[in-house]
Structure 1
Amino acid sequence: MATDFFGRILRNDLPDPSSSPELFDGILSRRIIAFVIDCVIMGILVAVAMVCAAILGFLTFGLAWLAIPVIVPIIFIAYYAVTLGSRWRATVGMRATDIVLTPTRETTLDGWMAMIHVVVFWISCAILTPFITLLGLFTNRRQLLHDMIVGTLMVRRSPMERHWHAFNRHEAA
Protein backbone atom coordinates (compact mmCIF):
# COMPACT_ATOMS: atom_id res chain seq x y z
CA MET A 1 0.00 0.00 0.00
CA ALA A 2 1.17 3.51 -0.79
CA THR A 3 -0.12 6.93 0.17
CA ASP A 4 -0.99 9.40 -2.59
CA PHE A 5 -0.69 13.17 -2.37
CA PHE A 6 -4.20 13.44 -0.86
CA GLY A 7 -3.08 11.24 2.04
CA ARG A 8 -5.47 8.39 1.31
CA ILE A 9 -4.29 4.83 0.91
CA LEU A 10 -3.85 3.57 -2.65
CA ARG A 11 -5.08 0.07 -3.37
CA ASN A 12 -2.45 -2.58 -3.94
CA ASP A 13 -4.47 -4.42 -6.58
CA LEU A 14 -4.30 -1.66 -9.20
CA PRO A 15 -3.19 -2.90 -12.60
CA ASP A 16 0.21 -1.89 -13.88
CA PRO A 17 0.40 -0.76 -17.53
CA SER A 18 3.75 -2.52 -17.99
CA SER A 19 2.41 -5.92 -16.91
CA SER A 20 -1.18 -5.48 -18.19
CA PRO A 21 -1.05 -3.20 -21.26
CA GLU A 22 -4.33 -4.62 -22.60
CA LEU A 23 -6.19 -2.80 -19.81
CA PHE A 24 -5.04 0.57 -21.14
CA ASP A 25 -5.01 -0.18 -24.88
CA GLY A 26 -6.66 2.75 -26.68
CA ILE A 27 -8.22 3.99 -23.44
CA LEU A 28 -8.04 7.69 -24.35
CA SER A 29 -9.69 7.25 -27.76
CA ARG A 30 -12.32 5.00 -26.17
CA ARG A 31 -13.02 7.69 -23.58
CA ILE A 32 -13.52 10.29 -26.30
CA ILE A 33 -15.92 8.04 -28.23
CA ALA A 34 -17.80 7.21 -25.01
CA PHE A 35 -18.03 10.93 -24.21
CA VAL A 36 -19.56 11.66 -27.63
CA ILE A 37 -22.11 8.84 -27.19
CA ASP A 38 -23.00 10.11 -23.72
CA CYS A 39 -23.33 13.70 -25.00
CA VAL A 40 -25.82 12.54 -27.66
CA ILE A 41 -27.86 10.70 -25.01
CA MET A 42 -27.77 13.66 -22.63
CA GLY A 43 -28.65 16.00 -25.51
CA ILE A 44 -31.77 13.95 -26.18
CA LEU A 45 -32.66 13.99 -22.47
CA VAL A 46 -32.12 17.76 -22.31
CA ALA A 47 -34.23 18.31 -25.46
CA VAL A 48 -37.11 16.28 -23.99
CA ALA A 49 -36.83 18.17 -20.71
CA MET A 50 -36.80 21.53 -22.52
CA VAL A 51 -39.91 20.65 -24.52
CA CYS A 52 -41.65 19.65 -21.29
CA ALA A 53 -40.48 22.87 -19.58
CA ALA A 54 -41.68 24.93 -22.54
CA ILE A 55 -45.13 23.34 -22.46
CA LEU A 56 -45.33 23.67 -18.69
CA GLY A 57 -44.16 27.28 -19.03
CA PHE A 58 -47.18 28.13 -21.13
CA LEU A 59 -49.48 26.35 -18.69
CA THR A 60 -47.97 28.13 -15.68
CA PHE A 61 -47.70 31.55 -17.33
CA GLY A 62 -43.90 31.33 -17.54
CA LEU A 63 -43.23 30.11 -14.02
CA ALA A 64 -41.85 26.73 -15.18
CA TRP A 65 -39.35 28.52 -17.42
CA LEU A 66 -37.47 29.55 -14.29
CA ALA A 67 -36.40 25.90 -13.91
CA ILE A 68 -34.67 25.78 -17.31
CA PRO A 69 -31.20 26.91 -16.09
CA VAL A 70 -31.28 24.18 -13.44
CA ILE A 71 -32.46 21.38 -15.75
CA VAL A 72 -29.21 20.85 -17.69
CA PRO A 73 -26.88 20.45 -14.67
CA ILE A 74 -29.39 18.19 -12.94
CA ILE A 75 -29.69 15.95 -16.01
CA PHE A 76 -25.91 15.74 -16.44
CA ILE A 77 -25.22 14.96 -12.78
CA ALA A 78 -28.12 12.51 -12.50
CA TYR A 79 -27.09 10.70 -15.70
CA TYR A 80 -23.54 10.17 -14.48
CA ALA A 81 -24.54 9.37 -10.89
CA VAL A 82 -27.06 6.74 -11.98
CA THR A 83 -24.84 5.13 -14.62
CA LEU A 84 -21.40 5.41 -12.97
CA GLY A 85 -22.87 4.62 -9.57
CA SER A 86 -24.49 1.44 -10.89
CA ARG A 87 -23.02 -2.04 -10.59
CA TRP A 88 -21.54 -1.62 -14.10
CA ARG A 89 -19.57 1.50 -13.05
CA ALA A 90 -19.96 2.84 -16.58
CA THR A 91 -22.14 5.18 -18.59
CA VAL A 92 -23.93 3.93 -21.71
CA GLY A 93 -21.09 5.27 -23.86
CA MET A 94 -18.47 3.65 -21.66
CA ARG A 95 -20.24 0.31 -21.82
CA ALA A 96 -20.40 0.60 -25.61
CA THR A 97 -16.63 1.18 -25.77
CA ASP A 98 -15.74 -1.53 -23.19
CA ILE A 99 -14.37 0.76 -20.46
CA VAL A 100 -15.15 0.98 -16.77
CA LEU A 101 -14.40 3.40 -13.93
CA THR A 102 -12.75 2.00 -10.82
CA PRO A 103 -11.59 3.73 -7.64
CA THR A 104 -7.83 3.90 -7.02
CA ARG A 105 -8.10 4.45 -3.29
CA GLU A 106 -9.61 2.24 -0.64
CA THR A 107 -13.16 3.42 -1.18
CA THR A 108 -16.22 2.30 -3.08
CA LEU A 109 -17.50 3.79 -6.31
CA ASP A 110 -21.05 4.83 -5.49
CA GLY A 111 -23.47 7.48 -6.72
CA TRP A 112 -21.86 10.19 -4.58
CA MET A 113 -18.38 9.53 -5.89
CA ALA A 114 -19.80 9.43 -9.43
CA MET A 115 -21.44 12.83 -8.87
CA ILE A 116 -18.19 14.28 -7.53
CA HIS A 117 -16.34 12.79 -10.51
CA VAL A 118 -18.68 14.45 -13.02
CA VAL A 119 -18.67 17.82 -11.26
CA VAL A 120 -14.86 17.88 -11.15
CA PHE A 121 -14.81 16.71 -14.79
CA TRP A 122 -17.06 19.53 -16.02
CA ILE A 123 -15.22 22.14 -13.96
CA SER A 124 -11.87 21.00 -15.37
CA CYS A 125 -13.36 20.96 -18.88
CA ALA A 126 -14.62 24.50 -18.46
CA ILE A 127 -11.21 25.71 -17.33
CA LEU A 128 -8.77 23.58 -19.33
CA THR A 129 -10.55 22.28 -22.43
CA PRO A 130 -9.13 20.59 -24.55
CA PHE A 131 -5.98 20.28 -22.46
CA ILE A 132 -7.46 17.80 -19.96
CA THR A 133 -6.93 15.00 -22.48
CA LEU A 134 -3.28 15.94 -22.93
CA LEU A 135 -2.53 14.97 -19.33
CA GLY A 136 -3.60 11.41 -20.16
CA LEU A 137 -0.79 11.17 -22.68
CA PHE A 138 1.78 11.70 -19.93
CA THR A 139 0.36 9.66 -17.04
CA ASN A 140 1.32 6.04 -16.55
CA ARG A 141 -2.26 4.75 -16.36
CA ARG A 142 -3.74 7.30 -18.82
CA GLN A 143 -5.55 9.14 -16.03
CA LEU A 144 -6.94 12.61 -16.63
CA LEU A 145 -6.85 15.44 -14.11
CA HIS A 146 -10.29 14.76 -12.66
CA ASP A 147 -9.44 11.05 -12.29
CA MET A 148 -6.41 11.91 -10.17
CA ILE A 149 -8.29 14.46 -8.06
CA VAL A 150 -11.24 12.16 -7.35
CA GLY A 151 -9.17 8.97 -7.16
CA THR A 152 -10.46 6.93 -10.08
CA LEU A 153 -9.00 4.95 -12.93
CA MET A 154 -10.48 4.15 -16.35
CA VAL A 155 -9.62 0.72 -17.76
CA ARG A 156 -10.97 -1.66 -20.39
CA ARG A 157 -13.71 -3.81 -18.90
CA SER A 158 -13.14 -7.21 -20.50
CA PRO A 159 -9.40 -7.49 -19.70
CA MET A 160 -10.01 -5.88 -16.29
CA GLU A 161 -12.36 -8.68 -15.28
CA ARG A 162 -9.64 -11.22 -16.11
CA HIS A 163 -7.13 -9.12 -14.11
CA TRP A 164 -9.31 -9.02 -10.97
CA HIS A 165 -10.03 -12.76 -11.20
CA ALA A 166 -6.29 -13.51 -11.48
CA PHE A 167 -5.51 -11.11 -8.60
CA ASN A 168 -8.20 -12.66 -6.38
CA ARG A 169 -6.88 -16.19 -7.09
CA HIS A 170 -3.36 -15.00 -6.26
CA GLU A 171 -4.54 -13.39 -2.98
CA ALA A 172 -6.48 -16.53 -1.99
CA ALA A 173 -3.45 -18.80 -2.50
Structure 2
Amino acid sequence: MSAETTSDYARQDVFDPVSNPELFSGVRSRRIFAFFIDLIVITLFTFGAGIVVFFLGVFTLGLGFLLYGILPTAVALLYVAFTLGGPQASTLGMRAMGLEMRLWYGAKPYPLLAAVHVILFWFSVSLLTPLVLLVSLFSDRKRLLHDLVLGTVVINSASHQGYVRGQA
Protein backbone atom coordinates (compact mmCIF):
# COMPACT_ATOMS: atom_id res chain seq x y z
CA MET A 1 0.00 0.00 0.00
CA SER A 2 1.18 3.51 -0.70
CA ALA A 3 1.45 6.13 2.02
CA GLU A 4 -1.67 7.87 0.72
CA THR A 5 -3.70 4.65 0.75
CA THR A 6 -2.41 3.78 4.22
CA SER A 7 -3.34 7.22 5.48
CA ASP A 8 -6.87 6.99 4.05
CA TYR A 9 -7.16 3.43 5.36
CA ALA A 10 -6.10 4.54 8.84
CA ARG A 11 -8.71 7.33 8.95
CA GLN A 12 -11.60 5.09 8.10
CA ASP A 13 -13.30 3.11 10.83
CA VAL A 14 -12.78 -0.23 9.09
CA PHE A 15 -13.08 -2.01 12.39
CA ASP A 16 -16.67 -0.91 12.87
CA PRO A 17 -18.66 -4.02 13.83
CA VAL A 18 -21.86 -2.56 12.37
CA SER A 19 -20.52 -1.84 8.89
CA ASN A 20 -18.08 -4.80 8.79
CA PRO A 21 -19.50 -7.61 10.95
CA GLU A 22 -17.56 -10.24 9.00
CA LEU A 23 -14.33 -8.99 10.60
CA PHE A 24 -15.55 -10.16 14.01
CA SER A 25 -17.53 -13.27 13.12
CA GLY A 26 -16.40 -16.14 15.37
CA VAL A 27 -13.42 -14.22 16.75
CA ARG A 28 -14.13 -15.00 20.40
CA SER A 29 -14.28 -18.79 20.04
CA ARG A 30 -11.37 -18.95 17.60
CA ARG A 31 -9.31 -16.85 19.95
CA ILE A 32 -9.81 -19.44 22.68
CA PHE A 33 -8.62 -22.25 20.41
CA ALA A 34 -5.66 -20.11 19.28
CA PHE A 35 -4.69 -19.64 22.93
CA PHE A 36 -4.50 -23.41 23.46
CA ILE A 37 -2.50 -23.92 20.26
CA ASP A 38 -0.06 -21.23 21.38
CA LEU A 39 0.15 -22.82 24.82
CA ILE A 40 1.23 -26.10 23.21
CA VAL A 41 3.76 -24.33 20.96
CA ILE A 42 5.23 -22.39 23.90
CA THR A 43 5.47 -25.62 25.90
CA LEU A 44 7.39 -27.30 23.07
CA PHE A 45 9.72 -24.31 22.70
CA THR A 46 10.26 -24.25 26.46
CA PHE A 47 11.15 -27.95 26.43
CA GLY A 48 13.65 -27.35 23.62
CA ALA A 49 15.13 -24.35 25.40
CA GLY A 50 15.31 -26.45 28.58
CA ILE A 51 17.57 -28.94 26.81
CA VAL A 52 19.83 -26.09 25.67
CA VAL A 53 19.90 -24.67 29.22
CA PHE A 54 20.80 -28.12 30.57
CA PHE A 55 23.90 -28.29 28.38
CA LEU A 56 24.68 -24.67 29.17
CA GLY A 57 24.46 -25.54 32.86
CA VAL A 58 26.84 -28.46 32.42
CA PHE A 59 29.37 -26.35 30.51
CA THR A 60 29.17 -23.49 33.05
CA LEU A 61 29.53 -25.87 36.01
CA GLY A 62 25.99 -25.27 37.23
CA LEU A 63 25.68 -21.52 36.70
CA GLY A 64 23.50 -21.92 33.60
CA PHE A 65 20.92 -23.88 35.60
CA LEU A 66 19.78 -20.56 37.10
CA LEU A 67 18.08 -19.83 33.79
CA TYR A 68 15.46 -22.48 34.53
CA GLY A 69 13.74 -19.99 36.85
CA ILE A 70 12.91 -17.57 34.06
CA LEU A 71 12.79 -19.98 31.13
CA PRO A 72 9.01 -20.33 30.60
CA THR A 73 8.42 -16.60 30.98
CA ALA A 74 11.28 -15.67 28.66
CA VAL A 75 10.22 -18.17 26.00
CA ALA A 76 6.59 -16.98 26.10
CA LEU A 77 7.58 -13.30 25.90
CA LEU A 78 9.95 -13.88 23.00
CA TYR A 79 7.44 -16.07 21.18
CA VAL A 80 4.65 -13.50 21.42
CA ALA A 81 6.90 -10.51 20.74
CA PHE A 82 8.28 -11.97 17.51
CA THR A 83 5.13 -13.63 16.19
CA LEU A 84 2.37 -11.21 17.22
CA GLY A 85 4.71 -8.26 16.74
CA GLY A 86 6.00 -9.63 13.45
CA PRO A 87 4.99 -9.01 9.84
CA GLN A 88 1.94 -11.31 9.97
CA ALA A 89 0.61 -9.73 13.20
CA SER A 90 -0.43 -13.08 14.62
CA THR A 91 0.92 -15.95 16.68
CA LEU A 92 1.04 -19.46 15.22
CA GLY A 93 -2.22 -20.29 16.98
CA MET A 94 -3.87 -17.16 15.61
CA ARG A 95 -2.68 -18.01 12.10
CA ALA A 96 -4.08 -21.51 12.43
CA MET A 97 -7.43 -20.04 13.44
CA GLY A 98 -7.41 -17.29 10.78
CA LEU A 99 -6.96 -14.33 13.12
CA GLU A 100 -4.69 -11.32 13.20
CA MET A 101 -4.21 -8.34 15.50
CA ARG A 102 -4.30 -4.70 14.52
CA LEU A 103 -4.08 -1.43 16.36
CA TRP A 104 -7.31 0.59 16.51
CA TYR A 105 -6.26 2.67 13.47
CA GLY A 106 -5.24 -0.30 11.29
CA ALA A 107 -1.48 -0.60 11.84
CA LYS A 108 0.17 -3.89 12.75
CA PRO A 109 1.49 -4.28 16.30
CA TYR A 110 5.21 -4.02 16.94
CA PRO A 111 7.24 -6.40 19.16
CA LEU A 112 7.23 -4.22 22.30
CA LEU A 113 3.46 -3.76 22.13
CA ALA A 114 3.01 -7.50 21.62
CA ALA A 115 5.12 -8.23 24.71
CA VAL A 116 3.16 -5.69 26.77
CA HIS A 117 -0.06 -7.22 25.43
CA VAL A 118 0.81 -10.70 26.74
CA ILE A 119 2.06 -9.30 30.06
CA LEU A 120 -1.22 -7.40 30.55
CA PHE A 121 -3.18 -10.52 29.61
CA TRP A 122 -1.46 -12.70 32.22
CA PHE A 123 -1.53 -9.93 34.82
CA SER A 124 -5.27 -9.30 34.35
CA VAL A 125 -6.14 -13.00 34.35
CA SER A 126 -3.97 -13.64 37.42
CA LEU A 127 -5.21 -10.64 39.37
CA LEU A 128 -8.84 -10.48 38.31
CA THR A 129 -9.41 -14.20 37.71
CA PRO A 130 -10.49 -15.59 34.35
CA LEU A 131 -13.81 -13.78 34.83
CA VAL A 132 -12.07 -10.77 33.30
CA LEU A 133 -12.51 -12.57 29.98
CA LEU A 134 -16.24 -11.90 30.23
CA VAL A 135 -15.49 -8.36 29.06
CA SER A 136 -15.56 -9.72 25.51
CA LEU A 137 -19.23 -10.58 25.88
CA PHE A 138 -20.06 -6.90 26.32
CA SER A 139 -17.57 -5.43 23.84
CA ASP A 140 -18.89 -4.65 20.37
CA ARG A 141 -15.60 -5.72 18.79
CA LYS A 142 -15.26 -8.78 21.05
CA ARG A 143 -12.18 -7.28 22.69
CA LEU A 144 -10.77 -8.34 26.04
CA LEU A 145 -9.74 -6.00 28.83
CA HIS A 146 -6.09 -5.82 27.77
CA ASP A 147 -7.17 -5.14 24.17
CA LEU A 148 -9.21 -2.16 25.36
CA VAL A 149 -6.31 -0.81 27.43
CA LEU A 150 -3.80 -1.08 24.58
CA GLY A 151 -6.11 -0.09 21.72
CA THR A 152 -5.81 -3.36 19.82
CA VAL A 153 -8.40 -5.44 18.03
CA VAL A 154 -8.35 -9.06 16.83
CA ILE A 155 -10.02 -9.64 13.48
CA ASN A 156 -10.55 -12.34 10.87
CA SER A 157 -7.57 -12.40 8.51
CA ALA A 158 -9.45 -13.52 5.40
CA SER A 159 -12.16 -10.89 5.77
CA HIS A 160 -9.59 -8.20 6.37
CA GLN A 161 -7.52 -9.24 3.35
CA GLY A 162 -10.64 -9.11 1.20
CA TYR A 163 -11.42 -5.65 2.46
CA VAL A 164 -7.87 -4.41 1.78
CA ARG A 165 -7.91 -5.89 -1.76
CA GLY A 166 -11.23 -4.14 -2.39
CA GLN A 167 -9.64 -0.81 -1.39
CA ALA A 168 -6.65 -1.16 -3.71
- TM-score if structure 1 supplies the norm length? 0.83
Instruction: Output the amino acid matched with 2:20.
Output: S
Query: Counterparts of 2:54 and 2:165 in 1: how far apart (Å)?
Result: 51
Q: Percent identity?
A: 34
Query: Counterparts of 1:124 and 1:149 in 2: how far apart (Å)?
Result: 11
Q: Secondary structure at the match of 2:130?
A: coil
CA distance 1:88–1:135, change in 2 (3 Å): same
User: Aligned pairs, how many?
Assistant: 159
Query: Counterparts of 2:132 and 2:33 in 1: how far apart (Å)?
Result: 15
How far is the alpha carbon of 1:11 from its aligned partner?
A: 5.1
Contact 1:90 1:100 in 2 (8 A): yes
**Equivalent residue, structure 2, for 1:93:** 93
Question: Are 2:77 and 1:77 equivalent residues in the alignment?
Answer: yes
Question: Are 2:161 and 1:161 equivalent residues in the alignment?
Answer: yes
Q: Secondary structure at the match of 2:102?
A: strand
CA distance 1:70–1:11, change in 2 (3 Å): farther
Deviations 1:55-102 (A, max 9, x none): 332343321111111222211111011101111100000000000000
Contact 1:11 1:104 in 2 (8 A): no
Query: Counterparts of 2:14 and 2:153 in 1: how far apart (Å)?
Result: 9
CA RMSD in angstroms comes to 1.9
Deviations 1:86-139 (A, max 9, x none): 111000000000000000147652112111111111211211231132110110
How far is the alpha carbon of 1:162 from its aligned partner?
A: 1.9
**Equivalent residue, structure 2, for 1:138:** 138
Q: Secondary structure at the match of 1:89?
A: coil
Which 4+ runs in 1 deviate beyond 4 A?
Answer: 105-108
How far is the alpha carbon of 1:31 from its aligned partner?
A: 0.4
**Equivalent residue, structure 2, for 1:16:** 16
- TM-score if structure 2 supplies the norm length? 0.85
Contact 2:24 2:142 in 1 (8 A): yes
Instruction: Output the amino acid matched with 1:24.
Output: F
Q: Which runs of 5+ in 2 are unaligned?
A: 1-9
**Equivalent residue, structure 2, for 1:31:** 31
Q: Which runs of 5+ in 1 are unaligned?
A: 1-9
Question: Are 2:76 and 1:64 equivalent residues in the alignment?
Answer: no
Question: Are 2:60 and 1:44 equivalent residues in the alignment?
Answer: no
Question: Are 2:54 and 1:54 equivalent residues in the alignment?
Answer: yes
CA distance 1:128–1:11, change in 2 (3 Å): farther
Q: Structure 1 or 2: larger helix share?
A: 2
